[in-house]
Amino acid sequence: MAQLPKFAYGGQAVIEGVLIRGRTNFSLAVRRRDGSITACQETLNPLYTGRVRRWPLLRGTLALAETLTLGIKALHRSAQLAMTDAPSDQNQGESPQDEMSSAALAVTLAVSLVLGIAIFFLVPLLVARALDSFVPSDLASNLIEGAVRLVMLLGYIWGIGHIRDIRRVFAYHGAEHMVVHTQEAGLPLTVANARNFPTPHPRCGTAFLLAVVLVSIVVFSLVGRPSIEWRILSRILLLPVIAGISYEIIRFSGAHQSGWLGIALAYPGLLLQRLTTRQPDDGQVEVAICAMQSAIAADVGQPYQPSFPARPDAVASQPAGETRGK
């Protein structure tokens, strides 16, 4: 493949698959019901690759919007692919026929944002406000709100981690990180090489969520304790600011993995990823490798077909990450 300047590839785990975001394209690789792997490539919206992507703070909000949009699309598409066999005349670049419409995507995104803000931002605020008569300090009130938000996040992650299907997604999450580590190290993308790396990674959505919670404590402390109406409004209006600062922290820690400051900033997120990643089996690592190879191929304008053979025994045959492939 043609050589390109260094780029920080990253991705998400989906249903029986992995999404990798490239320079100008994203790739989705999914293990189908018959054990084969299908890789789909799609060009990214120019909004996500344009000049704004290089502006500090603003790019954090843009990255959040992109992650949510691509994640919803990829989940919908991966669910379709995972439930079907590959056609006999399979074109590995195919896409499902029943694509999510723009209207459905917009509604799903809006509902997700409203629920996320209501549960993880407004509920902690209301809990802290209920204790205001017992807490004379504005700083203490905001610390209580932040603590409630953190406990809710940890409880949510811990809770869904007990769902069998989510454990499989967490194993694909670990596979995605291992393959990203391998690509960043400049090694050939093989299962054996990926096995040399851990499942946590500094540039991770889990780390970003934790950074949002911690940064929000600082930002909201600057607001103090105005009326409840202004406090609710501040939680909504300041979210892009918090996302922007959090993104820059994650970006810095990912780019300075060997420096003490980068290590210190990344450590809490890496620790939390013990809950959101699991050790994948070899079949799941193969899917992550296909997603990475497909994204790189799309960036250099080359077609791609997964080279791994079908593995019928790799499709949800056991709780993810509880055994390791040989």
How many domains does the chain fold into?
1
Q: Is residue 235 part of a domain?
A: yes
High-pLDDT (> 90) share of the chain, %:
68
Residues whose CB falls within 8 Å of the CB of residue 281, separated by 6 or more in sequence, listed in order: 171, 314, 320, 321, 323, 324, 325
Residue 212 in any domain: the answer is yes
Domain hosting 117: range is: 10-314
> Which pLDDT does position 98 carry in this prediction?
62
User: CA–CA separation, 75 vs 62, rounded Å?
Assistant: 20
Which pLDDT band holds residue 88 (cuts at 50, 70, 90)?
Answer: low
pTM: 0.88
Strand partners, 230: none
Q: Is residue 92 part of a domain?
A: yes
* Domain assignment of residue 274, yes or no: yes
Inside any domain, residue 156: yes
CB 32 within 8 A of CB 82: yes
pLDDT of 314 > 90? The answer is: no
Q: What is the pLDDT of residue 89?
A: 53
Q: How confident is the model at residue 91 (pLDDT cuts 50, 70, 90)?
A: very low
Indicate whether 325 belongs to any domain: no
The neighbour count for residue 122, using CB atoms within 10 Å, is 14
Closest CA to 204 of 8, 22, 17, 56: 8
Instruction: Tell me how far apart the alpha carbons of residues 263 and 253 are, in angstroms, rounded to a whole number.
Output: 7
> b/e string for 261-299 if b means 16 or more Cβ within 10 A?
ebeebbeebbebbeebbbbbbbbbbbbbbbbbbbbbbbb
Q: Is residue 3 a part of any domain in this protein? A: no
Q: What is the predicted pLDDT for the residue at 325?
A: 39
pLDDT at 7: 85
Asked whether residue 326 is assigned to any structural domain, the reply reads no
* Interval 195-217: pLDDT, tens: 999 999 999 999 999 999 999 99
